[in-house]
Amino acid sequence: MPDAASTQIVFLLFPGITQLDFTAPAQALSRMPGAKLAAAAASLDPIATDSGFSLVATHDFDTCPLADIVCVPGGHGVVDALGDAATIAFLKRQAASAQWVTSVCTGAFLLGRAGLLAGKRATTHWAYTHLLPLVGAEPAPGRVVEDGRVVTSGGVTSGLDFALTLIARLKGDAVAQAIQLAIEYDPAPPFAGGHPDRAPAAVTEGLKARVYDAAAARMAAALGG
């Protein structure tokens, strides 16, 4: 794709979204040559995030332009969004003509509810990967998993990896590397424990007991599993 080509990127917003699932890839993708970003929600009312502040969409479902890239962030609000017919209908409509269909974290389950992960290799937040077969997907390892035009990414911070991966596919490695440098994405976390494969077992089990066992059960119930 030539650098001058316009690429319409549409993010789906909903109450209870994890803001970094949206804002991290949006920051990287917005710097891609020719990128045009839109954030679509059921209305233009402020949308409560999980961080104590709200976001405002640029478009509602009826006025949003058709996407070349559609991206679905995650968050605990996915459970409610799974049952919202207008949200799922919008996603199906956008995906029908999109070049790329993508998700961050538990946004994968909204892709699945829309029928977009059937038979696809996919990933999501580590606490929910065992539920991917409920939407017809095959769980696959990795922070970013590509299967044809479908690109899914793991939890929260994986959204930056996804965005840079997709930029490289569209515009070449040099463009993606320049954007990575521009945003100084040079992670050097204080602990080597961002995934259960590396985190101390007591930390993982404690977090699951406090948050994710119940959260995964709610997701399973919403998916009918």
Active-site residues, by number, are 105
The interaxial angle of helices 158-171 and 19-29, nearest 10 deg, is: 30
86 Cβ neighbours under 8 A, 6+ residues apart: 42, 61
- Looking up tokens 């995964």, which residue turns up? 216
Find the DSSP H helices in the chain.
19-29, 78-81, 85-97, 107-113, 158-171, 173-182, 201-207, 213-223
Q: State the residue for tokens 């949006």.
A: 26
Which residue is it, tokens 């993010």? 11
